[in-house]
Each structure stands twice: as C-alpha cells, then as structure tokens.
Chain A
Amino acid sequence: MNAPAVPPISTDVYVIPYEGAHLVYAPLRRLAFVANAAAVNTLAKLKAGVLDQPTADEAAFLEFAAAVRLTGSDGDAPIVGLNQPEFCPNEITLFLTADCNLRCVYCYARAGDTPASRMTLETARRGIDQVVANALALGLDWIGVNYHGGGEPTLNHEVLTASHAYARQQAERHGLKLHTAIATNGVLSPRGRRWIIENLDGASISLDGSPAVNDLNRPNRAGGGSGSLVMTTLREMDAAGFAYSLRVTVSAQTVQSMVETVTYILDETHPRRIQIEPVYDIGRGADAGLHVDADAFIGGFRRCRALANSRGVDLAFSSARIEVVTNRFCRAYGEGFSLTPAGAVTGCYEVYDQDADFADDVIFGRYDEAADAYIFDPKKLGALRDHTVEKQSWCDGCFARWHCAGDCPNKVRHASVNGEFCGTPSCQITRALVQDQIITKIEADGGLIWMGAVDTAVETSDASAPVSEQQ
C-alpha cells in the first residue's frame, strides 16, 4: 500500500540555534517551535525532496508539521508592500528648516553646522495642495501633514503655524480629516509647547535619558544641557494628556545608563511608546566615534524591555517587529512625499537637502513653476519603489528578513561597500531581539508552539507613532 503523499514545504522556514536545540521559525506561517536535530533534519529532507519513505517516527512528526501548517501550500501571511499602485501620496512631510537649537553629538543631518535654510509658506502650501488633490482623486477622506528635520521644525514657527492653519482650512473646505504630527527635540518655548498641544495630534520627541544622561548626547548650541527643558515639555504634555512617543538614542557614553534611562522615563513621563536606537554612523555620528557595542545594546535593551513591560509600556527597536510582515523597512522609499526646505521632493527623512548623501538618487522631484505642478523623475522614483528586501541578497538567509525588511535603506547604503551590503551591527541587534520576540510568543502561547495571526500594517506616520528617523 502506498504511503499517503507528504505535503511539501512551500514557505520560508528558518532554523535558529537555541540553547542546544533548534528554534524552527516560519515567519510567513506565523509559526515557531523548538525542535531537536532529528526533527529539523526530517524537515530538511522533506524540503530537499528526499523523504520518499518516512519512518514511522518521521511520519508522525510530519503529521504534526501538517497540522500546524508548516507543510502544505496554504497559509502564508501576505507580505505588505506599498499602499498604492501609483505614486499618489495623501500625506506630506515638511522639513521646515535646517537650523537647530541643539548640537546633538550624533545628528545625521549635522543640523546647525551650515547656514540655515528655511522653508517658505508658499513651498509648504504647494505641498499641501498636492496631497489634498491626491486624496480627492483617490477618494480618500484624510490628509496627513507632518513636520520633521534635519533641523528643529519649531524654529520656523511662522511657517509651522501658518502651514498648519492652511492645511486645516483646506481639509475643512474639502471635507477631509487632517492628521498632523511633529518630530521635535522638545526644547520649546512656552508658546511652542502650547501650540503643539493645542493643534497637533501627536509628537515624537527625542530624549536620551535623565537630564544628566541626555545632556551627554544632546547639548544645546552653547554647549549647555537640554534635558531639563525637554522634561518641562513632557510634563506639560502629560498634564494635557497629549499623545507623544519618545525616541531614545544610545551612544557609547550612555549605553551603561540604558536601564537608568528607561526607569527615569517610566517614572517621570507617560509616552505612548518608547523607541530605542543606537547611534548610527551617519553625519556627526560617523565622526563622533560613539557607536555602541551591539552586545551591550542588546543586553541593555532586554533589561529595559522587562522594565517597560512591567509598566505596560511598549518598547521598540525599529527593525525588530515580529508583528509586521513586509518587504519594505518603511514606505518613505517609494511613497514618501517629503519636501526639503528648498522645496525639493525627497524619498527619505535622512536625505534632507541637496547636499545630503545619496541626494542624487533619493531626491526625485521638484515643483515646476512653468507647469505649475510637481514633476517627478520616473527613473529615480521607480528605483525607490522597487527597493525591497528581495533585492538585498545579503538578507536572503536571515530569519528576520520579513520583519526588518533589509533595514533602513539610507543606513544600508552608508554601510555598503561598492554598493554591496554586507551586514551591520544592527543586524545582530535585530536578530537577537526578533528571536526574543519569537520566544516570548511561544511562551505566551503556552510554552510549546506559537501559531499566531499577523498585523500586516507597515508602520505609518500616524499621529501617535514615532517618526522613526528623528535623531
């Protein structure tokens, strides 16, 4: 009698060494469990097509594998890509100025080092008009207007407030909802604080710890501290119940204070979310020599995560996100519509003007006065829209591939040699933290198997989520 056919393996399956055994992880099946070598080898034989006559034990195991949907062709979670088939954004990010009142030691934009450029109200209005038109064309009921650096957007207070008023006016006129948020260093005048609280839906604020710790990384332009002023801002936001998230950057001089930092944040502030990132070797960060040892960051993050979990607060690292299944780290490349102070259209928050690294590829549009319209370079835009993790061969064998999605394209490009990406310490961090998330899922599901659903939404710039590249 012929044995019944064994369903094949048709999904990505990864095997991660774990405490002397093997963590079997199928990210697109939302499945993970720990197995011994024999089980893994059974699966490997099945994948290689050499398991024609399984033993009784192998057959029993494969029955399990079929039952949990590891084998067979049904059940891959959808991989989220771009929202729209064509470039037609209903959301805009305005880089209002390259000026900054701080001189953070790791600033990717070297904000404040060069003569300040400031966006005009006219530039902002054109961008807002474009997203309104796009929303109407697509039949959407909302537009998004966000404010970002390189530089501190609140230093261009006049255009900030006037452009927001204009966006509100246009949204009301066309029956659209307006979502607005800002990424700011939090060093604000009382007027600036009040305005943000009263007018915006959310903010991402940078704070690297208690004032003593924060000030090591984030001095003001006179060399003094900034932390106490940020705390004043946060306390006022807390008192008002304003939704904000915190972005913490860890440098070599603050990594030993990570737990102290998160403890301080949890005790003294009430963010919706805390995002922790190491210093990246971009801009001043590349010069400062303050990059963080990956192991130290991982250990600190784990301690911090335990603390935050005990208080019910979400702690995030940008590329360790098991809930997300996507081939794009973010949608800035390909759907981002951001305007530099001069009005050029860029596809990345970290490419903030024409002098930024990779501006030639990432700045893909401008406003044409003669045509009275935006024009986009189709080749550049196409390249941005085609940038997915499938194009990054280094990542092919990485189990975090569909969550990290190749990491931030701008950082990857900085780390690449001759255009080839060959890993960064962030990869080590991402894998460690994704593995933690897998184990947590298994433990939460009873300690045997994780079989989960999936949130297929790529992080968007909604009001309460961090604008991820703020530094």
Chain B
Amino acid sequence: MPSNWDVKPRFELQHVREDGSKEIELCDLKEFLRHGAGGLKMGRRGFLGLSAFSSAALLAACQAAALSPTPTAQATATVAPTATDAATSTLQPTLAPSATDIPTDTPVPSPTSVEIPHPTAQPAVVNYEDPAGAACGAERAEAAGVGGIAFNAGGGWLVSATQINSDARHVKIWDATTGELLQSWTAGYRIKSIAISPDSGLLVIGGYAAVELRQAQGGQLIKAIEDLSLPIDAVAISPDGSLLAALIDERELHVWTLGGGYAHWQLEGTFKSVAFSPDGTRLATGSDASIDLWDPASGRRLGSLGSNTADVLCFSADGSLLNAAGYDGQAAQWEVASGRLVHSASFWKAPTGSLAYSEAIASGAFSPDGRQLALVVVDLTDPMNPTEAVRLYDPATGRRIRTLKASSGDLVFSPNGERLVQGGLDGVIRVWSAKTGQPLGVCFFDPAENTADESAVTYKLTDAAGITRTYALPCGSPIPGGAICTCNCVAGTYIETPGGGGGGGTICTCVPVYVPR
C-alpha cells in the first residue's frame, strides 16, 4: 500500500479503471479444485489466482471458456460455503474429482453428510508405512504443538511433550518404529524440557517452576522438586541414571542425586546447553562465551574448552571428544582430555543489513557420532509466509549436506544415528533417514488430537484375536493392508488398489469431502 497517509482515503466503492489484464482462465484453476477449496493451504499467488476468479465468483467443473474482461459466470457453477455460514448459503459445493483417482466418465454424485466416528471413542491408531514413502503432513501427534522430544536409550520409544505455551501438558510415549501411541498422560506443570532415564523407567520433566520425576509407564509422580522459581530450560540424566542436571532460566545449573535424599548442588552463571559424558564422569555446559566441564557429583570445575557459543553439545560415544555448535553459526570439536581443538568451522552466517533477522536458527541437535549437525532454520524473508527447514551440516567443514522441509520445533537423532526426528510446533512429528534425508513415512497420530468433525478416512481392521476396531485417519491417507474402508467419502468414488506397501493387501484411499461443522 503506498505511503499516502496525508491523502484523504477514498476506498469507497466506485468505478475503477479497466487495466486490461488477462483474467485467469477457468481451466487454470483445476489444480485448486482437485484438492478442494476448503483445505488447501495456498500461497499468496495461488490465493490470488483463485480469488481473482471470484469476480465471476462461481466455480464450475472446468470448461473451455476463457474469461472476458466482463465478469463471467456459469449459471450452474457453485461456491463452497464457509463453515460459519453454511446454513445461510444457498450454494452447494461441487468439487471436481481427482483425475488420477476416478475415471473421467464417472459422474460425481452430490455430497452426503456421513457421521464420522468420534476419535476419542477409538483406540490408538495402528500406524502404517506409507508405501510411497511420503512424509506425514496432516496427522497430528499433538493439537497444541509438540515441544520437547526425546528417544529412550534403546531407540524403541519416542517421548513427546506438549509445547510450552499450551496448558495441555501432555506427555506421550510412542513406538518409534511404527508410530503407535503407547502411553499418554498429563504432567503437573507446563512443560519446557524432557529426558528419559537410561532404563526407560523414569521420565524427567522440566516444567515452569518445578522438575517432575514420573514413571514412564502411566506417569505416576515419583517426586516433584518444587522449590524452583523459574522455568527449567533443559534437563539431562547421567548414563547410569543416578544424576539429574537441569538448566534454569539460563542462569542456574542444578544437579540432583536421584533417589535417597536427592542431594543437590547448584551453580550460578550463564548456561545454554548441558550434556553428560558417556561414562558419567563429566558434565559439560555451554554458554555464550565458553564451554565448561564439571564434576557432576560435586560441582567442582574441571576445566574449560574454548570461547565459543554453545547452544548444542554432544559427547562422542567414547567420551573422548566434545562437539559444540552455536546459533551464531560456529561449530567446533575438542579433545576432552587435552582440551585441544580438533576442528572448527563456520556453517552459517546471520544475514545483515536490510535482510537482518530474515533468517534465524531456532533449534539444533548433533548426531550421536558428531558428524552431522541438524538445525531448524526459519526463513522470514517473506514475513507473511515464514518457512522453516531442517538443514544438515557437516560440523567439521561447515558444508551443508541437505535441506529438509520441516516445521519449527526441536530435533533429536535416534541413539543409533539412523533417524532424525522433529517434534513440530504444528503438532506433527516428522521422521527422516539421517543418512539419506528421505522421510520415513512413520506417522505419529493421536486421534484425540485431530478435529472430530473434519473429513476423515475411517476403516475397520480385524486383529488376530478376531476383534474388529474402527479407526480414523485424515483424508487421503492410505490404510493398512487387510483393512476395509468405511470412510465418509462420497459413495462410489473410492478406489481400491490391489497391492501397495505396508505388507501388501488392499489399500483404500478416500476422496476428501467437505463436511460442515
């Protein structure tokens, strides 16, 4: 909008000059119609393209007519009503069927409203392997966004927590391989950080003003350390499970002996990251200007390594090396015993000048072998459409290895280094192969966290015990082999495709249908 605040505003409806621009053809909008007007997230150009056609305002199945500068319309064309005004609109939605799913000569019947089983009545979904290997995009693990995320030592479990700005306070334990939801319970405080004990029996939750120790199975509270006045930024458990370290408000380091009298020491300073060495004899902390080593049992300072900013720390498997990376774009590796700098590299440079703050690092993680550094980078070049990506770097050289499409949210590598997982603030948990960057198609889906009255795939599956259960998944999702599709799609418009992934069997994909609230 031009800078003309001192000119009297004249935005009232009046004749505008024809600019002679060519209208977007009806047929050009097929792609938007294929996906349905209700659910497609489109960028500004797509929205403009679709909305410019609303000057005729009446969508129809694609015809060959090009638009003239005068408003054009098809007498039978329709507009998809919005959810809030469906009752007042006299127009009916007509969504063009996907050309890849349905023969062109198949008539599209009128949509019918079909009752969708309430997801809270469903047991946890048995997840599946996406045969196409595509990333899960719509299935949510946590409606309020995922905050903390961690693997257990064996890598079989993935633990997620609701993001900090939500009062939901869910802690969920998932089968890391299948995405099945194993446990779900609620913590006592809003959650800022989580860690799981080496034996997977204990979950430590860093909350707003307390550290909670809970049983991983069932979430029973073992102990709450509540005489803390500030949020707990990070928690870590020693490899032998005997010590708990917590960073508080970037100003305090607390270490407790787990069990017994919970003996405790604390230090004040500046602390941005914390990690136990594999043998438990050292505790490393990172700050804006140094990396320090402490005796975790006593709090005695053992030494310092360099003067780097360290937002992410990771010991090598044998504990002889320590990797550090800062969100200022510098990475380094030290020999712990000698303090010798093994290598350092610059992997990212913050933009300056007019582009200052157009890009920023939000979170990061090292692979267990220290050879990959994964970072969430937020691109704010177009502030109306910020985009996030996970970038993988070689910390030894600073070379970018690859970029993965992602969300905002914390990252964690599996203990064997084969998988990279992100707990997204959009509620989706994403899993990639750490080696190839391919999405692994494991979807972490909690039916209770996905809106009940949106369109959904439903299917029935009978297990080995002969028990038949009904499940729900977001529309367009393939269902496991052997399942029977009972989705709410328009009758006659689903297609059964023999074969497919996930162990073979019938795959049923339902066409999405708009269902008003």
Contacts and interface: CB of A to CB of B under 8 A. Distances in A.
Interface of A: 9, 12-22, 24, 33-45, 47, 55-58, 60-61, 63-65, 67-69, 235-236, 238-241, 256, 259-260, 263, 270, 294-295, 299, 302-303, 305-307, 310-313, 394-399, 422-428, 431-432, 435-436, 439, 442-443, 445-453
A210 to B, nearest CB: 12
A302 B383 CA distance: 6
B47 A43 contact: no
A240 B190 CA distance: 12
Interface in B62-112: 68-75, 79-82, 84-85, 88-91
Main SS of chain A's interface residues? helix
Contacts of B10: 397
A388 to B, nearest CB: 17
B508 to A, nearest CB: 27
A86 B3 CA distance: 41
Interface string B1-45: 101111111111111111101010000000010000111111010
B229 interface: yes
A425 B5 contact: yes
A312 B145 contact: yes
Interface in B379-403: 380, 383-386
B166 interface: yes
Given A33-B51, A295-B3, A446-B82, 19 more contacts: A9-B13, A13-B12, A35-B51, A36-B21, A40-B13, A41-B16, A57-B70, A60-B72, A259-B357, A294-B5, A306-B386, A310-B378, A312-B166, A397-B10, A423-B6, A442-B47, A447-B42, A447-B46, A452-B84
Given A36-B69, A60-B58, A432 B1 contact: yes
A123 to B, nearest CB: 36
Q: Which residue among A60, A241, A436 has the maximum number of chain B CB atoms within 10 Å of its CB? A: A60
B231 interface: yes
Contacts of B6: 422-423
A67 B90 contact: yes
B4 A36 contact: no
Nearest to A75: B88
A45 B54 CA distance: 18
Contacts of A35: 51-52, 54-55, 57
A425 B4 CA distance: 8
Contacts of B145: 312
B51 to A, nearest CB: 4
B426 to A, nearest CB: 9
B52 A36 contact: yes
B56 A60 contact: yes
Contact of B5 (A17, A311, A428): A428
Given A303-B357, A303-B383, A423-B8, A37 B16 contact: yes
A435 B297 CA distance: 59
A443 B38 CA distance: 10
Interface of B: 1, 3-19, 21, 23, 32, 37-42, 44, 46-48, 50-52, 54-58, 68-75, 79-82, 84-85, 88-91, 144-145, 163-166, 208-209, 229-231, 249, 356-358, 360, 378, 380, 383-386, 408, 425
Given A40-B13, A238-B208, A449-B79, A443 B57 contact: no
A446 B37 contact: yes
5 contacts: A307-B380, A395-B9, A398-B9, A439-B44, A448-B80
Nearest to A11: B13
Contact of B384 (A69, A302, A397): A302
B13 A43 contact: yes
Contacts of B73: 56-57, 60-61, 63-64
Contacts of A14: 11-13
Contacts of A445: 82
B386 A423 contact: no
Nearest to A430: B5
A61 B8 contact: no
Given A20-B21, A36-B69, A36-B71, A239 B90 contact: no
Nearest to B251: A235
B5 A310 contact: no
B441 to A, nearest CB: 25
A371 B163 CA distance: 58
A53 to B, nearest CB: 14
A428 B3 contact: yes
B495 to A, nearest CB: 26
Contacts of B79: 64, 67-68, 448-449
B54 A449 contact: yes
Nearest to A266: B165
Nearest to B189: A241
Contacts of A435: 1
A305 B18 CA distance: 35
Contacts of B47: 34, 439, 442-443, 447
Contacts of A15: 11-14, 16
Contacts of A270: 164-165
A450 B145 CA distance: 26
B13 A38 contact: no
Given A239-B230, A259-B357, A306-B384, A34 B52 contact: yes
Given A270-B165, A307-B380, A312-B166, A44 B1 contact: no
Contacts of B50: 447-448
B13 A44 contact: yes
Nearest to A432: B1
B384 A38 contact: no
Contacts of B75: 60
B482 to A, nearest CB: 36
A15 B14 CA distance: 8
B408 A310 contact: yes
Q: Which 6 pairs of residues, A with B, have the shortest CB-CB distance?
A: A60-B73, A34-B51, A39-B55, A64-B57, A259-B357, A398-B9
Contacts of B48: 18-19, 21, 34
Contacts of B356: 256
Contacts of A56: 73
Contacts of B12: 12-15, 396-397
Contacts of A65: 57
